[in-house]
Amino acid sequence: MTAQSVRAASAMLDGGAFDVERYRADFPILTTQVRGKELVYLDNAASAQKPRQVIDAIAEFDRASYANIHRGVHHLSQVATKAYEGARDKVRAFMNAEQDREIIFVRGTTEAINLVASSYGRANLQAGDEILITHLEHHSNIVPWQILCQQTGAVLKVAPISDEGEIVMDEFKKLVGKKTKIVAVNHVSNALGTINPVDEIIALAHEVGAVALIDGAQSAPHLAIDVRALDADFYAFSSHKIFGPTGVGVLYGKAALLEAMPPYQGGGDMISYVTFEETRYNRIPYKFEAGTPNITGVVGMGAAIDYIQSVGLDAIGAYEHELLEYATERVGAVEGVRLVGTAAKKAGVLSFVIDGVHPHDVGTILDQAGIAIRAGHHCAQPVMDRFGIPATARASFAFYNTKAEIDALVDGIHQIRKVFG
Amino acid sequence: MASDLRELYQEVILDHNKKPRNFREMEPFDRKVEGFNPLCGDRLTLFMKIEDGVIKDVTFQGSGCAISTASASMMTEALVGKTFEEAEQMFSEFHDLVTGDPTDEPKVGEHLDKLEIFAGIREFPARVKCATLCWHTAKAALEGGQKSVSTE
Ligand SMILES: Cc1ncc(COP(=O)(O)O)c(C=O)c1O
């Protein structure tokens, strides 16, 4: 048993059940009333809520430890720098990276991918080179590569997905070749919840000498990440999806790659000295952290990681699996409901459509019952096109959701069917 | 059902959603404009036939929620036979109706007639754009020049 699963096991009740009420009590917002009803928050894939431990850590840091980092000789600057760098080490451990300097703080997954596209991409790609993504990507793992293609003459290749919403690996393999320079794939799909075989995908990329970037925005809240076991070259996630604050996220990169890459933005902190004739860049990770970063946000993200580790990702994974199976069965059983995305391995997401009812109307009617879901294309329009639908209704789960909340969702769906008769 | 919801999803609206009127392409047409709501991906194409400053026929195609479909369907019925000026007035009256303060009595302009039932949208600010997408598209069609409009 790992240290993590020991902690997780100790969080279980005698019967082995996950003590969800205990964790719910950590999230103040879950007691909010919406339109006179108790909030049922099923929009976690868009952004997750924060536990008191994170809210308090942020307030406490701002109250007692805040100053700019890396530049002051004064006491507070040193305290703040220690907290900021301490969070970097928490992230390193969270992803099982080897070194702190492989962890770059960015604004979020979107900026992480843009950083790799601009810095690594422009330095290494030439006309005719290929970038391979899949039909399952979020717009933030599509558009930066399209921009890079426009700038370099590289070509974007897209691996297809099946009717279940899984990457068709036989087709994927055919698209990996000598010209492939970057492979960029999400670990878990935000639109459908599919868990992709990223270990296999990374190995395929490496066979042809390409680098692999994994978009971990939707895996980080649900699965234990091990960048070394995966042998990922780059791995990105966002704090706000792992119960931390917005405006901050992480790019992991292998040290050798990061060292060889040109800076992404210029400014303070990323230099070691500047004259008008010559500027020498700072070492990694600072080379990629130009300007005053989101100091408080980074500290808050560190607190969120502490919190997740205290619950334990093994326990979270097991509980959420049970929750998703229950939701799949109950929602799927309602007449006129079609689930979109039925992969064998899924995490956290239930996307569906109701015959004759547009997802926006689903969202509005559920909202009247205090149930928050997302209705739309989920920043993944190609996925919607693949299934020939404009949008889906998406319920997405966190470990603080309950079966009773899924029952409320099912009641809401019955109500919708009644309205639209 | 909560009363706000019943206000929004009135029978007439549900009926127009199920059986949208004038839901077809037009050939030939005098004006054709596409309307997009990039936030939700809703899109519609509006076709118009115009004679001597009067709207002779309006049809639409596209996919959207019940509110946007019903709004477009009812708009096509309401616009036929109207002058540009009357249509312009309907646009601004409709806009005032759906964006009004929900705690006040609804402001029902004199040209609105059946469209009055959209007053319920005032309670649902997130849905106002669904109802107004077709009207923005129609306005662009009347003004000419633009091939597409967006709510954002
Ligand atoms: C799979 C995936 N990738 C990337 C992103 C972008 O993350 P952010 O908006 O935090 O930069 C998201 C967020 O929705 C996502 O779900």
Considering only the C-alpha atoms of chain A, give the largest distance between any 2 of them, rounded to a whole number of Å: 74
pLDDT digits (tens, 9 = 90+) for A152-176: 999 999 999 999 999 999 999 999 9
Task: Select from A229, A244, A174 the least CA-distant residue to A198.
Answer: A229
Which pair of tokens denotes residue A78? Answer: 């040193």
Which pLDDT band holds residue B107 (cuts at 50, 70, 90)?
confident
What would the two tokens of residue B16 be? 């127009």
Phi, psi for A337 (deg, rounded to 5): -100, 135
Q: Which amino acid is at B78?
A: A
Residue B14 and residue A368: Cβ atoms within 8 Å?
no
Identify whether the C-beta of residue B109 lies closer than 8 Å to the C-beta of residue B89.
yes
- For ligand 1, whether the C-beta of A186 sits within 6 Å is yes
Contacts of A35 in chain B (CB under 8 A): 2
The nearest CA of chain B is from the CA of A420 a distance in Å of 7
Q: In the numeric block, which tokens belong to residue A300?
A: 């808050």
Strands (DSSP E) along A216-265, which ranges? Answer: 234-238, 249-253
Nearest-by-Cβ selection for A361 from B18, B63, B65? B65
- Residue B2, SS3? coil
- In this structure, what token pair is assigned to residue A70? 């890396």
Helix (H) or strand (E) holding A52: helix A52-64
| pLDDT tops 90 at residue A23 | yes
Ligand 1 atom index nearest CA of A140: 4
The confidence score (pLDDT) of residue B148 equals: 80
Q: What is the CATH number for B119?
A: 3.90.1010.10
CB contact set of B114 (below 8 Å; sequence gap of 6+) = B12, B74, B77, B78
Which tens digits make up the pLDDT trace of B50-69?
999 999 999 999 988 999 99
With an 8 Å Cβ cutoff, is B126 touching chain A? yes
* Residue A39: Cβ within 10 Å count: 17
Q: Is A187 helix (H, G, I), strand (E, B) or coil?
A: coil
For position B114, what pLDDT does the model report? 92
**Among A54-58, A266-270, B90-94, the least confident range:** A266-270
The one catalytic residue among A25, A155, A169, A379 = A379
Q: Is A187 in the pocket of ligand 1 (CB under 6 A)?
A: no
- Band (pLDDT 50/70/90 cuts) for residue B7 is confident
A392–chain B nearest CA distance, Å: 10
Does residue A191 belong to the interface with chain B, where contact is any CB pair within 8 Å?
Answer: no
Q: How far is CA A24 from the centre of its chain?
A: 21
**Nearest-angstrom CA–CA distance, A20 and A12:** 9
**Is A50 strand, coil or helix?**
coil
Pocket perturbation via mutation, ligand 1, pick of A140, A186, A213, A234 by most ligand atoms within 8 A of CB: A140
Q: Which carries the bigger pLDDT value, residue B148 or residue A27?
A: A27
Q: What is the pLDDT of residues A342-370, one digit of tens each?
A: 999 999 999 999 999 999 999 999 999 99
Predicted local confidence at residue A273, as pLDDT = 84
Tokens of residue A287, six digits: 């080379």
Q: How far is Cα A140 from Cα A356, in angstroms, rounded to an integer?
A: 31
Give the ligand 1 atom nearest the CA of A215: 3
DSSP assigned state of A273: E
Task: Give dist(CA A292, CA A271) in Å, integer.
Answer: 13
**Neighbouring residues of B34: CB distance < 8 A, sequence distance ≥ 6:** B43, B44, B45, B46, B137, B147, B148, B149
Q: Is the pLDDT of residue A10 over 90?
A: no
Residue A1: the pLDDT is 41
A16: pLDDT confidence band, cut at 50, 70 and 90?
low
Distance CA(A216)–CA(A397), nearest Å, equals 16
The boundaries of the domain holding residue B109 are 3-150
User: Is A379 marked active-site?
Assistant: yes
Q: Which of A226, A281, A302 is nearest to A61 (CA)?
A: A302
The number of folded domains in chain B is 1
User: With a CB-CB cutoff of 8 Å, which residues 380-399 of chain A face chain B?
Assistant: 381, 384, 390-391
Find, in chain B, the residue whose alpha carbon is nearest to that of A360: B65
Cα separation, A419 vs B10, whole angstroms: 9
Tokens in use for A263?
Answer: 């800076």
For B14, the closest of A359, A376, A420 (CB atoms) is: A420
Instruction: Return the closest-CA partner of residue A233 out of A170, A185, A284.
Output: A185
User: According to the model, what pLDDT value does residue B1 have?
Assistant: 60
Ligand 1 atom having least distance to the Cα of A378: 14
Instruction: State the pairing for strand pair A371-372/A279-281.
Output: unpaired
Q: Which of A6-10, A122-126, A327-331 has the lowest mean pLDDT?
A: A6-10
Q: β-pairing, B54-63 with B42-51?
A: antiparallel
Nearest CB to A361: which of B2, B39, B66? Answer: B66
Mean predicted lDDT score pLDDT of chain B: 91
Q: What mean pLDDT comes out for the span A380-409?
A: 95
Q: Which residue of B has its CA nearest to A414?
A: B1
Under the banding of pLDDT at 50, 70 and 90, the label for residue A277 is: confident
Q: The domain A3-48+312-419: what is its CATH number?
A: 3.90.1150.10
Whether ligand 1 lies within 6 angstroms of the CB of A196 is answered as no
Distances (CA, A) of B57 to B43, B86, B131, B143: 20, 15, 20, 16
**B128 has a pLDDT exceeding 80:** yes
Q: In this predicted model, what pLDDT tens digit does every residue of A48-84 receive, in sequence order?
A: 999 999 999 999 999 999 999 987 789 999 999 999 9
CA of A376 to the centre of ligand 1 (A): 15
More confident site: A122 or A11: A122
Domain ranges of chain A: 3-48+312-419, 65-310
Over 70: is that where the pLDDT of A7 sits? no
Confidence of residue B152 (pLDDT cuts 50, 70, 90): confident
CA atoms within 13 A on the CB side of A362: 27
Give the chain A residue whose CA is nearest to the CA of B12: A420
Per the confidence metrics, is the pTM higher than 0.80?
yes
Q: How far apart are CA A152 and CA A181, in angstroms?
A: 12
Which residue on chain A is closest to B39 by alpha carbon?
A376
Q: What is the CATH number of domain A65-310?
A: 3.40.640.10
> Could you give the angle at which helices A359-368 and A403-420 cross, rounded to 10 degrees?
120
